[in-house]
Amino acid sequence: MKKLAREIRINTLKSLNHLGFGHYGGSLSVVEVLAVLYGGVMNINPENPCWEKRDYFVLSKGHAGPALYSTLALKGFFPLEEIYTLNQNGTNLPSHPDRLKTKGIDVTTGSLGQGISIATGIAMALHLDKKPNRVFSIIGDGEMNEGQCWEAFQFIAHHNLNNMTIFLDYNKQQLDGALEEIINPFSFEEKMKAFGFDTVTIKGDDIKGIYDAVKSPRTENEKPLFIILDTIKGQGVEYIEKMKNSHHMRLNDDLKKEMEKEVEKLERGRE
Amino acid sequence: MIKVYNGDFKKDDIEMRKVYSTVLSRLMEKDNRIVALEADLMSSMTMDAVQKEKPDKVINCGIMEANMIGVAGGMSIAGKYPFVHTFTAFASRRCFDQLFMSAAYQKNNIKVIASDAGVTAVHNGGTHMSFEDMGIMRGLANTVVMEMTDGVMFENVLEQIALKDGFYWIRTMRKNAATVYEKGSIFEIGKGNVLKDGNDITLIANGIMVCQALEAAKKLEKEGKSVAVIDMFTLNPIDKELIIKYADKTGKIITCENHSIHNGLGSAVAEVMAEKGNARLKRIGIKERYGQVGTLDFLMEEYELTSEHIYSAALELLK
C-alpha cells in the first residue's frame, strides 16, 4: 500500500504536470486513503468494473479526480498512459469523475454535496437487499459547507447504514482560503459524533492507521464509521505543502521545473 | 390505442394520488427492483398504507428533497428503479442541480412524480405553486417530461415506465381529475392524442386544461366552428409532426396549460411552429404572475384558465 501510494502520487503529479494546470492540492491529500482502499481493502475487479460483488467507491470531492484516475490506472482498469489524456479535448478522464466515461468510476461527482447522497443511496439499496458489499466515500472539508452533506448524514445514521465508511479529507483549506476564515467548521469530530457516527481522527498519511480502521466490515451493532483524515493540502509533495493556496495551480516555467524536481525526488524513493 | 370518454363532464372515481399508490404497490409486488422514496409527504400521496405493507420498498427520506434525489441516484446505480415523489414546487425549484447531476447527466433511472401541479396546489398557496417546472425540466437533454391528464392515463403511464431506463418527470394533480379517457386506453409516450378532429382551429392542451379545451370546443361547435383538440401530455420530446400537421390544417392554434406560458407547452409549440408550420398562435396559461391561495374554481378564473377564456381567445383568433 505504501508503494502504491508513492506510485499514485508520482502519476498524479505527472498527469497534472503534463496538462500544466489542475487541482493539485486536494488530489494529493487523498493519495494514502486511495492506496489503502484500492490496495488493501476494497473488493474490485479491474477486468470487470461492474462486478456484482465489488465494493463501491464515491469520490464526493470530485475535483480530486486525477488521484483517482492514477489509482485506477495502476490497478489495471485502463492503461497507465491514458492518465496523460486528463482534461484533453474529447477525453475519458475529465476534471471530475464521470461514470459514463471512465472504467472503474461508480458515481459521477463534481457538484459538491451530491456524491455523499448517492453513496448513501447505494448503501441503502445494498442494505435492503442484505448484500455484503461495502461503500466508501471521500468527502472534502470545504464540501462540508454544503447542507446536503448533513441531510445525508442524518439519513445514514437513521438507517444505521454501517456498510458505508466516510473519510473526511480535513486539509483545512478550501478554494478561497482557510476553512476557519470562510466558514468555521468548529469541531467536525464532535458534530459527527452528535450526528450518530463512530468518529475517529487519523493522520492522513498514516497508512497503517487507516488500514486498521477500515480493514474489517462493521458488525451489526456498530454505528457507521466516519474517519477524519488529518491531511495537508498537497500532502507528500514538499513544495506544494508549503504553498498557501494549492487548490488549483497553473504552472509557469519555474513552477514546472519545481514540479519535475518533486517527481524526481519521489522517483528516487523507489530505489 | 386510446379511447376517448364522450359523456358529460365528470370527475374520475379515483384520486390521482390513489392511482399512484395503488399502481406502485402492485408493481412493487411484481418486481423487487421498484422502490418509492418520499420526503415527508407520504400521507399526502396515500403512500403511508403502502409503506406499512412494504416497509423495505417505501422509504420516507424526511424533509430533505436534495438528498432524496441523490439517494435515488445511488439506488439506481445499485440496480433499483426508484420513484420519488414530492410537490412539484419542491421537486423542481429546490432540486434542479440534483436532478441534473445525480439523475439525468449520469443516466440514472429515476422517475419523479411531481404532485400538486400549478394551481391545483389550491390552499397551500403561492409558495407551493409551481408554474415553472415543465420549462425547467424540458431543458434537460434526453429526458421525458409529461403531465398526466386523468387516472386512466396515470395508471397506464406508470405501468409503462416503471422499468424503463432514464429520467422521467411526471407532473400531476393529487385529487380527482376530470375523466377524459376510457379504461383500457394505452398511451404512446411522445405522441399527442387527437381527442377531436377539426378544420378551423386547434386547441392543444395538457393536464387539467384538457377538459377545459374540450368544453370550449363544444361551445365553439355549437356556433358552427370545426375544432380540433389535442392532448399533448408529453412535453418532451414533443410531437412535432402532429403540431405541424394541425398548424397547416387549421392555421390557428391555442395552447392551454396550468403553467407559465413561458417555457412550457405554449413555448414548445411556438418553437415548433416558428421553425416549420404556418399558423397563428394564442397561449392560455399563467402570464407573469405568482400563485395565491384559493379554491380551484377561483384560481382558474383568476388566472384565466377556464373554458370560457379558451372560447374567447378562439373567437378572437377566428375573427
What are the tens digits of pLDDT across the range A90-146?
A: 999 999 999 999 999 999 999 999 999 999 999 999 999 999 999 999 999 999 999
The DSSP call for residue B265 is H
Mean pLDDT of chain A: 96
Does the structure show a pLDDT above 90 at B277?
no
- State ipTM: 0.95
Size of interface A-B (CB pairs under 8 A): 97
Q: Average pLDDT in the B40-46 region? A: 97
Neighbours of B140 (CB within 10 A): 18
Q: How far, in whole angstroms, is CA A48 from its chain's centroid?
A: 22
Q: Average pLDDT in the A157-183 region? A: 96
Query: What percent of chain B stands above pLDDT 70?
Result: 100
Does the structure show a pLDDT above 90 at A80?
yes
How much is the pLDDT for B22? 98
Instruction: Please state whether beta strands B234-236 and B144-147 pair in parallel, antiparallel, or not at all (unpaired).
Output: antiparallel
How much helix, strand and coil, in percent to the nearest 5, is found in chain B? Answer: 40, 20, 35
Does the structure show a pLDDT above 80 at B78?
yes
Return d(Cα A248, Cα A246) in angstroms, integer. Answer: 5
Q: Which residue among B15, B38, B65, B215 is the active-site one?
A: B65
pLDDT in tens, B284-312: 999 999 999 999 999 999 999 999 999 99
CB A213 within 8 A of CB A202: yes
pLDDT in tens, B109-166: 999 999 999 999 999 999 999 999 999 999 999 999 999 999 999 999 999 999 999 9
How much is the pLDDT for A171? 95
Angle between helices B265-275 and B240-250 (to 10 degrees): 70
Q: B105 and A108: CB-CB below 8 Å?
A: yes
* Residues in chain A within 8 Å Cβ distance of B59: 124
Please state whether the peptide bond connecting residue A185 to the residue before it is cis, i.e. omega within 30 degrees of 0.
no
How much is the pLDDT for A105? 98
pLDDT band, very low/low/confident/very high, at A264 (cuts 50, 70, 90): very high
How much is the pLDDT for B40? 98
How much is the pLDDT for B84? 98
Q: Average pLDDT in the B214-232 region? A: 98
Does the structure show a pLDDT above 90 at B278?
no
Does the structure show a pLDDT above 80 at A213?
yes
Of A59, A51, A54, the residue nearest A42 (C-alpha)? A54
Of B67, B69, B107, Cβ closest to residue A155: B67
Of B105, B101, B145, the residue nearest B259 (C-alpha)? B145
pLDDT in tens, A26-37: 999 999 999 999
Mean pLDDT of chain B: 97
Backbone conformation region of residue A86, classed left if phi is above 0, alpha if psi is from -120 to 50, else beta:
beta
CA distance to partner chain B, nearest, from residue A145 (Å): 15
Of B74, B101, B106, Cβ closest to residue A124: B74
Return d(Cα A230, Cα B115) in angstroms, integer. Answer: 45
Backbone conformation region of residue A174, classed left if phi is above 0, alpha if psi is from -120 to 50, else beta:
beta
C-alpha cell at A151: 441531510
DSSP symbols for B99-166: IIIIIITTT--EEEEEES-GGGGGGG-GGG--SSHHHHHTTSTT-EEEE--SHHHHHHHHHHHTT--S
How much is the pLDDT for B237? 98
Of B48, B46, B55, the residue nearest B28 (C-alpha)? B55
Q: Which amino acid is at B236?
A: N
Instruction: Please state whether beta strands A21-22 and B201-205 pair in parallel, antiparallel, or not at all (unpaired).
Output: unpaired
pTM for this prediction: 0.96
Q: Average pLDDT in the A60-88 region? A: 97
* Residues in chain B within 8 Å Cβ distance of A116: 70
Alpha-carbon torsion angle A48, A51, A56, A59, nearest 10: 30
Of B66, B74, B107, Cβ closest to residue A121: B74
CA distance to partner chain A, nearest, from residue B130 (Å): 23
pLDDT in tens, A1-48: 999 999 999 999 999 999 999 999 999 999 999 999 999 999 999 999
C-alpha cell at A223: 454505528
Does the structure show a pLDDT above 90 at A271?
no
Does the structure show a pLDDT above 80 at A182?
yes
CA distance to partner chain B, nearest, from residue A63 (Å): 15
Q: Average pLDDT in the B268-275 region? A: 96
